[in-house]
Structure 1
Amino acid sequence: MFDSPVAAGVSSYGGALLGPGGRTLAIGTGDETRLWDVRDARQVGASLAGRANVFAFSPDGGRVAIGDRTGRRVRVVEMSSGRPPTVFEVATRRATGVDGLAFSPDGGTLAVAVKGRDGVLPLELRNLKTGVVTRTDVAAGGSMAFRPDGGLLVAGSVPELFDPADGSRRPRPEGLGSLSGPYAFRPDGGLVAFSGSGRISLWDPALTSPVGDLPAVGESTFLAWSPDGRTLASYESGDRIRLWDVPSRQLLGVVFDGLAEPGFSRSASMAFSADGGTLYSVTGEGVMRRHLLDEGRVTAAVCARAGRTMTPREWRLHLPEIQRFEVCG
């Protein structure tokens, strides 16, 4: 979709995150935040002043929380209201920055991972209506995910389990400590996928035991489920995207390969369209791409780009083992 960053300056201090359904993109630069309508390829509203590199969208995509790893302030923007953002500072006095953000499924609670001069600090759970903050007694930063029913919060690069109602820590089952972020709950909450060493591990929704593995090839930096929960997309640190058929535990294929060195685009994100026919991706540098997954859409896009069907001679040259048929009609 875009071969260069949507906004200048993203690679220096900012970042980017796709919202639910790939409808909206939040882009942080060295001095401002922009919200981008993906379908119409235009900016939504005015830019928000201030450095931003940590984002979270509410599950309905109606709000976005914005933070900075070197600042204590968090802003919550309502996408359609036009009102000024709600602004607050993290409650922990020793905190020097925001390390992660996540909305609860009902949008009423914002989990805020904070860090100080000596590292990650205990997690904060803020009631967005009352402003009341519940502090956990366990440090957890980076990746965070609520179970879709709101009854469990997973947080930390080494996963910790929390009860969102009171912030209490739940016992971590054996084997979960060997996994790492990122992780993602299936839309119906029936499975949760974790990145691990050389694999993607699937666990039951209560996180009591693993139920299977996907033999990942590279280190996954972001995971995204299709709306029907049958397909899992993994973004690898070498700027590569793979698709997995979860029921069969089989690799469907590589939909994009940027042929980059490992470690590239650690802040990348992805989102499936509401109908599951398109996968959107954006690198941490703000480079956005659209990957068509539906056969009909792919054919239409290729034919529109070529402007014609293949000639018999071209077919014999490029596809000699396949009987010719009409592709572009």
Structure 2
Amino acid sequence: MDWYHSEDAPEPAEDEPRLMAAVLGPAFEASPGELELDVERVLGWDRDGTRVHCLGFADVYAVDVASGSLLWTVEHGLDHSWWDHHSIPAAFDPGGTRVAWYDAETLHIADAATGADAHVAEREDASLLVWSGGGRLAVGGPGGIRIFDQGGEAHRLPSVPVLEKAVVADMTGLAWSPDGQRLAVVTGDDAVEIWDLDGDPGRVASFDGPADAAAVYWGTALAVLSVERVLFCSPDGTPINEIEFADEPAGWSVAGKWGWPGEWA
């Protein structure tokens, strides 16, 4: 079930599955008055599919799928203020070992199996959290980008990614290359920057993206999205193809909620 928290929660029909009960099993049914967890976003699964990590209204938590047991939970305390800024305050490492999240003051990089902090830093102005496939974490905010590796903060980049133009839940103004050595940044002036992080960081390319560029994805090529079009190009900016959408959307589904293009300005 999905609803806005300003509204009363709907009662499920008799034949409608209790979604949280299906996920949490006996732990949910045994203490409905004590355990209040919701799923705003599924952050990711561990590699063998036995553990799922979720972001809720006020918590980040992990559930053992086989037993339905709650493995750990931490409170981020931001409630739904993060919706107002189109930012998601938690991200799961694709490698399956770590989860990053922030509260009002602190950035946490934790063990995904236990929830125990492996590294803690000041949040500063953190807004975007994006993991590479190799275990690096890019933390973007109005003051630039911080890069964390296994040893903690390793680099700071002066580029400021676009922050309040989220287009889809899994794409932001930051994207790692498949090998985890380079980072693409969509800036607020519709430019795309490529940073090489193999050794000392350096900007190796900068080129124009589509007007009102909002997000980037890095696969075999770069895909740079705006409200009206998507640009496919190589990492040096050489265009491959550009597709204009037939209609401007009335709204986009962002992490399960609706946002309208006029709200992104």
Task: Decide whether aligned partners of structure 1 residues 220 and 266 sit closer, same or farther in structure 2, where only a CA change above 3 A counts.
Answer: farther
Letter in 2 for 1:157: G
Q: Offset at 1:111?
A: 0.5
Deviations 1:265-297 (CA, angstroms, capped at 9, x unpaired): 3836xxxxxxxxxxxxxx7439xxxxxxxxxxx
Deviations 1:46-95 (CA, angstroms, capped at 9, x unpaired): 36774443442258594543223x51x2122466x4633433123x7xx4
Letter in 2 for 1:200: V
Task: Decide whether aligned partners of structure 1 residues 153 and 188 sit closer, same or farther in structure 2, where only a CA change above 3 A counts.
Answer: same
Alignment of 1:122 with 2:113, yes or no, is: no
> Which of the numbers 285, 302, 306 marks the counterpart of 2:258?
285
State the alpha-carbon separation in 2 of the partners of residues 234 and 45 from structure 1: 39
Deviations 1:159-191 (CA, angstroms, capped at 9, x unpaired): 432434343x34424x42x43452010112242
| Cross-structure match for 2:69 | 84
After TM superposition, the score normalised by the length of structure 1 is: 0.53
| Aligned residues between the structures | 218
User: Is the Cα–Cα contact under 8 Å of residues 100 and 112 in structure 1 kept in the other structure?
Assistant: yes
User: Is the Cα–Cα contact under 8 Å of residues 200 and 216 in structure 1 kept in the other structure?
Assistant: yes
Letter in 2 for 1:126: A
SS at structure 1 position matched to 2:127: coil
Deviations 1:207-259 (CA, angstroms, capped at 9, x unpaired): 71222134212334332222xx3x222332x3x45141215621511264541
| Cross-structure match for 1:216 | 209
Residues 313-328 of structure 1 mapped to structure 2, 5 A cutoff: none
5+ long unaligned stretches in structure 2: 11-18, 25-35, 83-87, 164-172, 260-265
- Greater radius of gyration (CA): 1
| Cross-structure match for 1:250 | 239
After TM superposition, the score normalised by the length of structure 2 is: 0.64
User: Is the Cα–Cα contact under 8 Å of residues 201 and 213 in structure 1 kept in the other structure?
Assistant: yes
User: Is the Cα–Cα contact under 8 Å of residues 210 and 230 in structure 2 kept in the other structure?
Assistant: no
User: Is the Cα–Cα contact under 8 Å of residues 74 and 115 in structure 2 kept in the other structure?
Assistant: no
Question: RMSD between aligned alpha carbons?
Answer: 3.8
| Cross-structure match for 2:93 | 104
State the alpha-carbon separation in 1 of the partners of residues 225 and 48 from structure 2: 21
Alignment of 1:142 with 2:142, yes or no, is: no
SS at structure 2 position matched to 1:86: strand
User: Is the Cα–Cα contact under 8 Å of residues 213 and 249 in structure 1 kept in the other structure?
Assistant: no
Deviations 1:143-165 (CA, angstroms, capped at 9, x unpaired): 11223322x32113334324343
Residues 222-261 of structure 1 mapped to structure 2, 5 A cutoff: 222-226=215-219, 229=220, 231-236=221-226, 238=227, 240-247=228-235, 249-254=238-243, 256-260=245-249
Alignment of 1:192 with 2:176, yes or no, is: no
SS at structure 2 position matched to 1:252: strand
5+ long unaligned stretches in structure 1: 1-6, 15-28, 33-42, 116-120, 269-282, 287-329
